Amino acid sequence: MIKTKPQTLIVDNKYCPGCGHGVINRLVAEVLEELGVADQTIGAVAVGCACLMIDTFGIDWIQAQHGRAAAVAAIKRCRPDRTVLTYQGDGDALAIGFSETMYAAIRNENITVIFVNNTNFGMTGGQMAPTTLPGQKTTTSPYGRDCAVTGNPLKAIDMLKTLDIAYAARGAVTTAAEIAKTKRYIRNAFEAQLNGEGYSFVEVLSPCPTNWGMPPLAAKERVASTIQEYYPVGEFVKRGEKRHD
């Protein structure tokens, strides 16, 4: 268990105050270091606030085009000795990158996807994403998301758990207890990859106070109440076995 700041976090992060990305970055760094694989890890990132990590999170990075991180993460096939992750927002992984996300899972690529769900396109100013909740106001749904027009929010894990994948879990970065649980999920996901079990996916519910127009504490409370109600946390696939129906 690492108590000091992980060495992988080479520069202070650039996220807004109260953003969940910073906590998630730290959890990923701690897990990689505890597993002893940080210096042999390759990350694939595309766009969004996720790509701010390239300068601050000290691993080898490939920057893909928008949505394509899971496709370039197939570098794992050429370098099976490396630990390979993608780190993606909900707009990136489930809108323009939906196909790449699903096909990497369909192929059961032996990679780990860290999927940050903040219910909007953060970096570009808070537009509606596939995960925007019913009724949620965004810059492109100013009267609230109308599901009769847009369809319902995507639940990635509900789709992924129909496939032959190794691991899927959803956590949140709200309380200390939830953060500890989320770290366990991230660890389980990387362990699945190190054991050669196949595709692992961890969704993390994360506040975006800037675009939600909320102070950090209220944004965290929105995750713990409204968002977790729609997107329950837990483990859904473990060692290829479905855990919830």
Give the x/- contact pattern for ligand TPP in 33-52, rule: CB under 6 A. --------------xxxx--
Give the x/- contact pattern for ligand SF4 in 195-224, rule: CB under 6 A. -------------xxxx-------------
The candidate with the shortest Cα–Cα distance to 133, out of 119, 118, 122, is 119
Per CB under 6 A, 136 contacts ligand SF4:
no
Site for ligand TPP in 79-98 (CB under 6 A): 89-92
The tokens 């968002």 sit on which residue?
Answer: 227
Query: Measured between alpha carbons, how far is 112 from 153 in angstroms, rounded to an integer?
Result: 23
Q: Which one of residues 129, 165, 179, 237 is an interface residue with ligand TPP (CB under 6 A)? A: 129
Select from ligand SF4, ligand TPP, none the partner in contact with residue 66, using the beta carbon and a kind-dependent cut-off of 5 to 8 Å: ligand TPP
Give the shortest CB-242-to-ligand SF4 separation in angstroms: 31
- Point out which span in 15-23, 152-160, 175-183, 190-198 binds ligand SF4 (CB under 6 A): 15-23
- C-beta of residue 92 within 8 angstroms of C-beta of residue 66: yes
Query: Measured between alpha carbons, how far is 44 from 51 in angstroms, rounded to an integer?
Result: 9
Per CB under 6 A, 122 contacts ligand TPP:
yes
SS3 labels along 153-217: CCCHHHHHCCCCCCEEEEEECCCHHHHHHHHHHHHHHHHHHHCCCCCEEEEEECCCHHHHCCCHH
- C-beta of residue 118 within 8 angstroms of C-beta of residue 85: no
Pick 15 or 190: Cβ nearer ligand TPP: 15
Single-letter amino acid code for the residue at 207: P
Site for ligand SF4 in 44-63 (CB under 6 A): 49
Per CB under 6 A, 15 contacts ligand SF4:
yes
Q: Which pairing describes strands 83-89 and 41-45: parallel, antiparallel, or unpaired?
A: parallel
Tokens read off for 31: 């897990």
Residues of the shown chain interacting with ligand TPP in the complex, contacts defined by CB under 6 A: 47-50, 66, 89-92, 116, 118, 121-124, 129
Q: Which residues bind ligand SF4 (CB under 6 A)?
A: 15-16, 19, 21, 49, 118, 122-123, 208-211
